[in-house]
């Protein structure tokens, strides 16, 4: 198998910048390769290796018009698959023309790298000249044979395995007419496996994140699933109600991602989110959570490292194309229980009078002084529920950020500090913001993977397990 045909992404960037007749221009090249395997019922199903090159051209042009009639800077963004200079030139021509036909952008600001604008310590990445980093099906060279062995063990144990592994490496190049030449390599990998008994009466799940699959053992996954399916040997049916509930790190990641996703400064400032203050403004500075709770992002975070600069292909409530290249650093969203910051662009920061705190592609929840593991939380619980993960989480009431969703693939009864059986699934209605106020126990923070959002959107999280004394299980789900 040979490597995919590639063009020099740096050349695409330089050609795009040269070809643009706009006042300013940003060219973003994302070269990504992806390899995955999927299985069901102890046999492989679909799989594949994909390569893509997406080029985004953002053009900036001074135009007349605008609310004051004084004119301003318009922007336009055009993206597409481009693998040669002609392809990039076509995107540039479209972006330039579209910007000229547009109206002044409300989020206009000096481009990063220009005089008077904040910028990175160095406008040129040290590895700018390096080629894209690929992945291939070979990333599963050791995983695949072991997966085949895991299928065999599952069959002999009357169990069925269903799962997916995915590895993606995206190399991003950002160039601007103001001198930026930034490069970032982002490996993203994850695994997940659902186990069922052959009668399909119970199910369990394991999953997590990885950068290279060197640390993923299919046989260990199968063994964990076998243990959990075994827990269902005693089945206990419980009604809806409020339960002392242990949320494992994956479930906490699901809920904290929701809390973060809805933390846009503009929406809060305009009175439309749980982070809005009445009658106006935001709740920044207000206590939302228990003392000692910290929710933060850091591009240099251990095991969750991500791009250290803003890459914005289009503008919206929480993103501005003018901010591309802005350096990202550790940002505390909740500090010692108080709301400390919201997701900002320079435009929304000016609206709200708060610091510029752009979104970062990872999220960490830490509880000061929390120690121990999920098992320790179980050991300390007299009677409660241990969840495996959550699913189909959706906003019900933006006013409180009330979410609904379901437990999935294993709810276990904890009695006297031990797991004593499996319980039916439930639908829950809860607010993640409120949970941060009500939880009673937390484990140490660990690398986690959101089952709901990790696959295709937000995979870099670190969270503790939380024990909530009165988690609202609104109704019973018959799903097994």
Partner 1 sequence: MPDLDPSFLALPVRDLEAAALGRAAELGAEHADFRLERVRYQHVGVRDGALQGAGDTEDLGFAVRVVHRGAWGFAAGVVLTPAEARRVAETAIAVAEVAATMTTEPVQLAPEPVHADVTWVSAYATDPFQVPLAEKTEVLVGWTERLRHAPGVEHAAAHLLAVHEVKHYADLTGTRTTQQRVRLHPGFEAMGTRGDVFDSMAALAPPVGRGWEYVVGSPAEGGHNWDAELEEVPVLLAEKLAAPSVEPGPTDLVIHPSNLWLTIHESIGHATELDRALGYEANYAGTSFATPDLLGQLRYGSPVMHVTGDRTLEHGLATTGYDDEGVATQAWDIVRDGVLVGYQLDRPMAARMPGLNPGPDGAGRSNGCAYADSPGHVPIQRMANVSLQPDPAPGGGASTEELLARVEDGLYVVGDRSWSIDMQRFNFQFTGQRFHRVRDGEVVGQVRDAAYQATTTEFWGSMEAVGGPATWELHGAFNCGKAQPGQVAAVSHGAPSALFRGVRILNTRAEGGAL
| SS3 category, 159 | strand
Closest C-alpha to 107, from 370, 336, 318, 280 = 318
| Interaction of residue 250 with partner 1, rule CB under 8 A | no
User: Shortest Cβ distance from residue 121 to partner 1 (Å)?
Assistant: 29
Q: Calculate the CA dihedral of residues 275, 279, 285, 286 and round it to 10 degrees.
A: -70
| 72 binding partner 1? (CB under 8 A) | no
Asked whether 229 and 195 are in contact (CB, 8 A), the reply is yes
Please count the residues of this chain forming the interface with partner 1, following the rule CB under 8 A.
105
414 interacts with partner 1 by CB under 8 A: no
Q: Collapsing DSSP states into helix, strand and coil, what is residue 461? A: strand
Closest CB to partner 1 among residues 281, 308: 281
Piece of the chain touching partner 1 by CB under 8 A; list 39-47, 112-120, 361-369, 442-450: 39-47
Given 77, 170, 297, 362, the residue binding partner 1 (CB under 8 A): 77
Q: Taking CB under 8 A as the rule, which mask of x and - marks residues 334-373 in contact with partner 1?
A: ----------------------------------------
- Regarding 130 and contact with partner 1 (CB under 8 A), the answer is no
Neighbours of 296 (CB within 10 A): 20
User: What are 405's strand-pairing partners?
Assistant: 428
Which of 67/69 has CB closer to partner 1?
A: 67
Stretches 11-19, 142-150, 333-341, 375-383: which one binds partner 1 (CB under 8 A)? Answer: 142-150
Q: How far is the CB of 166 from partner 1 (least distance, A)?
A: 6
Q: Least distance to partner 1 from the beta carbon of 192, Å?
A: 6
Cβ-based nearer residue to partner 1, 181 or 467: 467
d(CA 316, CA 313): 10
- Closest to partner 1 by CB, 81 vs 158, is 81
Scan residues 297-336 and list those touching partner 1 (CB under 8 A): 313-317, 319, 321
> Interface with partner 1 includes 198 (CB under 8 A)?
no
Closer to partner 1 at the Cβ: 271 or 285? 271
Within positions 431 to 450, which residues make up the interface with partner 1, using CB under 8 A?
Answer: 431, 434
What is d(CA 249, CA 251) in angstroms, rounded to the nearest whole number?
5
Contacts of 444 (CB under 8 A, 6+ apart): 370, 371, 372, 373, 464
Q: Which of 297, 331, 324 is nearest to 309 (CA)?
A: 324
The span from the CA of 204 to the CA of 251, in Å, is: 14
Rounded distance between C-alpha atoms, residue 247 and residue 467, angstroms: 6
Kindly identify the residues of this chain, within the stretch 144-173, that bind partner 1 according to CB under 8 A: 144-145, 147-148, 151, 160, 162-164, 166
Residues 6+ positions from 67 with CB-CB distance below 8 Å = none
Q: Using a CB cutoff of 8 Å and minimum separation of 24, what contacts does 212-218 make?
A: 212/139, 212/167, 212/187, 213/139, 213/140, 213/142, 213/143, 213/165, 213/167, 213/189, 214/142, 216/143, 216/165, 216/191, 217/146, 218/143, 218/146, 218/147, 218/149, 218/150, 218/193
User: Considering only residues 17, 26, 105, 367, which one is a binding residue for partner 1 as defined by CB under 8 A?
Assistant: 105
* CA–CA dist 50, 52 (Å, integer): 7
Interface with partner 1 by CB under 8 A: which range of 169-177, 253-261, 272-280, 376-384?
272-280
Residue 79 CA to residue 242 CA, distance in Å, equals 48
Shortest separation between residue 204's beta carbon and partner 1, angstroms: 11
Q: For the segment 381-410, give every residue that binds partner 1 (CB under 8 A).
A: 391-400, 402, 404-406, 408-409
Residues 273-302 touching partner 1, rule: CB under 8 A, are 276, 278-279
**Contacting partner 1 within 177-196 (CB under 8 A):** 192-194, 196
From the list 36-44, 180-188, 250-258, 412-420, the region that binds partner 1 by CB under 8 A is 36-44
Out of 20, 36, 331, 443, point to the residue binding partner 1 (CB under 8 A): 36
Using CB under 8 A, which of the segments 17-25, 46-54, 247-255, 364-372 binds partner 1? 46-54
Q: Concatenate the DSSP letters of all residues of 387-450 into one string.
A: EEEEEEEEEEETTTTEEEEEEEEEEEEEETTEEEEEE-EEEEEE-HHHHHHH--EE---EEE--
Taking phi over 0 as left and psi of -120 to 50 as alpha, with beta for the rest, 416 belongs to left
Determine which residue in the list 11, 21, 50, 130 makes contact with partner 1, applying CB under 8 A. Answer: 50
Question: CA dist 310 to 10, 74, 217, 262, Å?
Answer: 19, 20, 35, 19
Q: How far is the CB of 68 from partner 1 (least distance, A)?
A: 12
Is 224 near partner 1 (CB under 8 A)? no
Minimum distance, C-beta of residue 271 to partner 1, in the bound complex (Å): 5
- Determine the Cα–Cα distance for residues 432 and 402; give it in Å rounded to an integer: 8
Selected range binding partner 1 among 1-9, 112-120, 222-230, 281-289, rule: CB under 8 A: 1-9
């Amino acid at each position: 198998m040979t490597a995919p045909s590639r063009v020099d992404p740096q050349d695409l960037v330089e050609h795009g910048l040269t070809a643009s007749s706009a006042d300013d221009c940003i060219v973003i090249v994302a070269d990504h390769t992806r390899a995955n395997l999927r299985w069901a019922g102890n046999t492989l199903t679909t799989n594949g290796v994909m390569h893509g090159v997406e080029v985004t051209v953002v053009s900036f042009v001074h135009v007349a018009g605008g609310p004051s009639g004084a004119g301003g800077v318009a922007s336009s963004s055009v993206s597409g698959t481009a693998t040669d200079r002609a392809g990039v030139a076509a995107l540039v021509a479209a972006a330039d023309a579209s910007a000229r036909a547009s109206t002044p952008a409300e989020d206009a600001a000096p481009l990063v790298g220009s005089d008077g604008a904040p910028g990175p310590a160095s406008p040129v990445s040290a590895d700018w000249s390096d080629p894209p980093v690929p992945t291939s099906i070979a990333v599963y060279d050791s995983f695949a044979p072991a997966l085949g062995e895991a299928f065999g063990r599952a069959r002999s144990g009357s169990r069925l395995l269903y799962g997916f592994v995915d590895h993606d490496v995206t190399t991003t190049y950002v160039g601007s007419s103001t001198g930026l030449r930034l490069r970032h390599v982002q490996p993203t990998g994850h695994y997940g496996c659902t186990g069922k008994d052959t009668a399909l009466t119970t199910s369990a799940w394991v999953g997590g994140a990885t950068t290279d699959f060197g640390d993923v053992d299919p046989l260990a996954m199968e063994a964990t699933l076998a243990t959990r399916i075994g827990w269902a040997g005693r089945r206990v049916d419980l009604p809806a109600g409020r339960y002392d509930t242990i949320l494992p790190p994956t479930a906490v990641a699901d809920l904290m991602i929701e809390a973060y996703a809805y933390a846009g400064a503009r929406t809060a400032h305009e009175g439309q989110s749980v982070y809005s203050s009445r009658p106006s403004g935001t709740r920044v500075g207000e206590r939302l959570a228990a003392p000692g709770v910290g929710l933060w992002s850091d591009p240099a975070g251990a095991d969750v490292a991500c791009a250290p600069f803003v890459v914005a292909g289009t503008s919206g409530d929480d993103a501005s194309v003018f901010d591309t290249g802005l350096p990202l650093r550790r940002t505390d969203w909740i500090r010692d229980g108080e709301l400390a910051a919201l997701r900002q662009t320079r435009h929304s920061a000016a609206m709200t009078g708060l610091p510029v705190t752009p979104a970062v592609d990872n999220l960490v929840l830490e509880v000061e002084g929390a120690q121990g593991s999920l098992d320790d939380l179980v050991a300390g619980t007299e009677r409660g529920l241990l969840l495996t993960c959550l699913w189909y989480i959706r906003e019900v009431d933006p006013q409180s950020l009330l979410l609904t969703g379901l437990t999935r693939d294993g709810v276990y009864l904890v009695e006297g500090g031990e797991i004593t059986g499996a319980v039916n699934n439930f639908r829950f209605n809860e607010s993640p913001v409120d949970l941060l106020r009500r939880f009673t126990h937390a484990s140490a923070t660990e690398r986690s993977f959101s089952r709901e959002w990790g696959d295709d959107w937000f995979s870099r999280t670190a969270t503790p397990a939380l024990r909530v004394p009165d988690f609202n299980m609104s109704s019973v789900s018959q799903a097994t």
